[in-house]
């Protein structure tokens, strides 16, 4: 009987402490931020696309030049194909193969560099956004801030998106 009383008493203590823990969790202030929309707005604000485009402009122009030289060679081969000697035809084919391999190599390198630089710029924006979220959350007294996509329903007064976007430096 004593063991039964001890078990019941222990169960009562555990049950009551868990109710207090849940009540403490419920008292936390939770906000949310639409990070996807915020990233889009920040990318526009900082002209990330234009910045990357101007950074790679010379290399893109070089690829366009190779394309135009290849097109000119193909047009010449089509136009003068029957009049060309076998040696000239072979020379044009080799030049085309050389231009094609050069084009593919430079295009692949450009694509990799653009992807890498895009990721670097995105990471910079993510860090700015994260800092702004932390600053706004501390200032507004929020305990937890989650992404809006993870929220099924929330009170619009807990939406910190506009405050975070304006707080990004």
**Per-residue pLDDT, 118:** 92
Kindly report, residue by residue over 79-115, the tens digit of the pLDDT: 877 777 888 888 888 999 999 999 999 999 999 999 9
Q: Over 64-104, what HEC string results?
A: HHHHHHHHHHHHHHHHHCCCCCHHHHHHHHHHHHHHHHHHH
Within a domain: 60: yes
Residue 154 inside a domain? The answer is yes
Dihedral sign, CA of 113, 115, 117, 119?
A: negative
Query: 19 lies in a domain?
Result: no
Any domain includes 20: no
Q: Is residue 86 part of a domain?
A: yes
> Does residue 98 belong to any structural domain of this protein?
yes
| DSSP symbols for 107-142 | HHHHHHHHHHHHHHHHHHHHHHHHHHHHHHHHHHT-
Read off the tokens for 141: 């007294």
On whether residue 24 sits in a domain, the answer given is no
Expressed as residue numbers, the domain containing 142 is: 30-167
- In order along the chain (169 residues), what is the average pLDDT of each group of 10 residues? 52 52 64 92 90 93 93 85 80 90 95 95 93 94 92 90 89
Our count of domains for the chain comes to 1
- Residue 94: give its domain's CATH number: 3.30.910.20
Q: For residue 20, count CB atoms less than 10 angstroms from its CB and return exposed for 0-12, middle for 13-18, buried for 19 or more.
A: exposed
Task: Evaluate whether residue 17 is within a structural domain.
Answer: no
């Amino acid at each position: 009987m004593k063991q039964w009383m001890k078990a019941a008493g222990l169960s009562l203590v555990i049950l009551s402490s868990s109710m207090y823990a849940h009540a403490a969790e419920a008292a936390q202030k939770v906000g949310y931020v639409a990070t996807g929309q915020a990233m889009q707005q920040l990318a526009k604000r900082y002209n990330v696309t234009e910045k990357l485009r101007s950074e790679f402009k010379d290399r893109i122009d070089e690829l366009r030049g190779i394309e135009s030289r290849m097109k000119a060679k193909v047009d010449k081969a089509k136009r003068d194909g029957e009049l060309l000697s076998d040696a000239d035809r072979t020379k044009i084919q080799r030049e085309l193969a050389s231009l094609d391999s050069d084009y593919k190599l430079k295009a692949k390198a450009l694509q990799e560099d653009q992807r890498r630089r895009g990721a670097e710029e995105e990471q910079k924006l993510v860090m700015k956004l994260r800092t702004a979220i932390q600053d706004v959350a501390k200032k507004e007294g929020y305990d937890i801030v989650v992404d809006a996509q993870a929220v099924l329903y929330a009170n619009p007064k807990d939406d910190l998106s506009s405050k975070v976007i304006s707080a990004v430096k």
